[in-house]
Amino acid sequence: MHGLWKETYDGATLAFIVLGTACVFVMVPGLGFLYSGLARRKSALALIWAVVMATLVGIVQWYFWGYSLAFSNSAPNNKFIGNVNSFGFRNVYGKTSDDEVYPELAFAIFQGMFMCVTLSIVAGATAERGRLFPHMIFLFVFATVVYCPIAYWVWAPGGWCYQWGVLDWAGGGPVEIISAIGGFVYSIFLGRRKESLLINFRPHNVSMVTMGTSLLWFGWLLFNSATSLSPCLRSIYAFMNTNLSAATGGMTWCLLDFRLERKWSTVGLCSGIICGLVAATPSSGCITLYGSLIQGIVAGVICNFATKIKYYLKVDDAMDILAEHGIAGVVGLMFNALFAADWVIGMDGVTKHKGGWITHNYKQIYIQIAYIWAVIGYTAACTAVICFVLNLVPYTKLRVSEEAEARGLDEDQIGEFAYDYVEVRRDYYQWGPDSDNAPEVRTDATDVHHDGGERQDNDEHHGMEQSTTNTAASVNEAEKQVGSDGQGTESGQEQEHTATSSQEEG
């Protein structure tokens, strides 16, 4: 006897949710490329690994009990968190009610990608000094203790924020604020990178930053619009709101950077776009189009100046997670209080809400403020406890040694390199210049003229001079390149001194 599933669903809605899930997943490699490009090349691969592995951790946690804790259908009276009745996706299959047009399994997978993106954002806090294995343990616990309860608060029908009328469309609290506060507190426990290794620090690959931002923007369009769970007018409206906020955010940040440097910064452009996208996350399905236009400008200005917070607090937030995710998420939630409209919220034909100030619902302002501070306080407290405990447990110390930081996380934690020549340059210093054979090699090489192949008269003095000059120049050039990304070593400096002394003796 074979069991046949008899339930039917709306094909367009189901396809819309599946497509949205796939596009949200694209944000994960986007974050990896963004973080990798912003770091130095000696830790570039480690950040990609951390972001991808964070997603794997999230998928497993969501399957075990994450979904049940965040969206349990069997705990309607719980205000804070769900239960574990759906452990291992138990009975998570078809419709949860007769009027649904998609299976619960599709909804569960879609929401799971939101948590994966959240954990991937937090993974940026490990930049250039965090051990990877303890961080994965941290993320599993963080997802259980922090993400699932807050997601339940605002998205589950029984949650206290949901019942209070908080407006958070696609995750200003559960995605943006908790990833920012979690990453910031994690950075506090990691401590600052060594100042001696930050001389002339700059992103090592701006092209990769741009590619990562582009992938994020692509995924974010469905991240926000597919939150409607149906291809309705509200989803299209959220799509346009997302684009407007990103566009004005990118322009604003770029202009602010231009006033200082008189250059059109590509990193600044990408930072502004991300701030606009983050601000649109909680608001794109709630506020008017002109509200999103203003929102992008406000987010660009506030977040640009918010990058100074880490200096005032002396916290090494290497990827500016607090400014670009936390502060921008707060901006989006506050714009819900001001520019949310009942007619925009009702575009899905299902949701009823009084909106914000522009539709005369003035009490929404304190509801949003209370929600923001509840999320910030809970996330900060839980993250601090998790980090404190992990630092006490054997083999789960959060930070690498100073020697490992100097070598880079690619070598210390991964054993592979994003760029082969990083490893070749290091080997070069171990080999040293071939002082025994260099004169003969250079003498032979200079026997052939570059443009005609004619023989030239070569005396021993000319060969020796050419050899020592090229040897010193090669070492100098390699030393400059290594110094540009903080990978210079004392042995390299000693070899440069040796080569210079040989040149003087010659």
The pLDDT score that the predictor gives to residue 491 is 40
337: CB partners within 8 A, 6+ apart: 167, 356, 357, 364, 365, 367, 368, 369
The pLDDT score that the predictor gives to residue 492 is 42
Largest CA distance in the chain: 95
Cβ atoms 209, 32 nearer than 8 A:
no
Cβ atoms 477, 496 nearer than 8 A:
no
Reported as a single tens digit per residue, the pLDDT across 262-301 is 999 999 999 999 999 999 999 999 999 999 999 999 999 9
Reading the block at residue 466, the tokens are: 């050419």
Q: Quick one: three-class SS letters along 195-241?
A: HHHCCCCCCCCHHHHHHHHHHHHHHHHHHHHHHHCCCCHHHHHHHHH
Angle formed at CA 43 by CA 486 and CA 129, multiple of 5 degrees: 85
SS3 347: helix
The pLDDT score that the predictor gives to residue 202 is 81
- Cα–Cα distance for residue pair 150/182, rounded to 1 Å: 13
SS3 448: strand
Cβ atoms 59, 116 nearer than 8 A:
yes
What's phi and psi for 314, nearest 5 deg?
60, 45
- Cα–Cα distance for residue pair 63/58, rounded to 1 Å: 8
Q: Which residues pair with 431 in a beta bridge?
A: none
The pLDDT score that the predictor gives to residue 4 is 87
Q: How would you classify residue 102: left for phi > 0, otherwise alpha for psi between -120 and 50, otherwise beta?
A: beta
Task: Identify the residue whose tokens are 């954002």.
Answer: 121
The pLDDT score that the predictor gives to residue 116 is 97
Question: From residue 386, how far is each of 192, 375, 389 by CA, in Å?
Answer: 19, 16, 5
Residue ranges, the chain, pLDDT below 70: 1-2, 195-201, 421-506
Q: Which residues pair with 455 in a beta bridge?
A: 448
Q: Angle, nearest 10°, between helix axes 44-61 and 11-38? A: 150
- Cα–Cα distance for residue pair 334/134, rounded to 1 Å: 35
71: CB partners within 8 A, 6+ apart: 82, 107, 108, 111, 151, 152, 155, 156
Angle formed at CA 500 by CA 494 and CA 504, multiple of 5 degrees: 145
User: Of 328, 10, 64, 36, nearest to 180 (Cα)?
Assistant: 328
The pLDDT score that the predictor gives to residue 500 is 45
Q: Which residues pair with 132 in a beta bridge?
A: none
- Cα–Cα distance for residue pair 159/75, rounded to 1 Å: 10
What's phi and psi for 36, nearest 5 deg?
-60, -45
- Cα–Cα distance for residue pair 107/276, rounded to 1 Å: 26
Cβ atoms 31, 120 nearer than 8 A:
yes
Does the pTM surpass 0.85? The reply is no
The pLDDT score that the predictor gives to residue 434 is 53
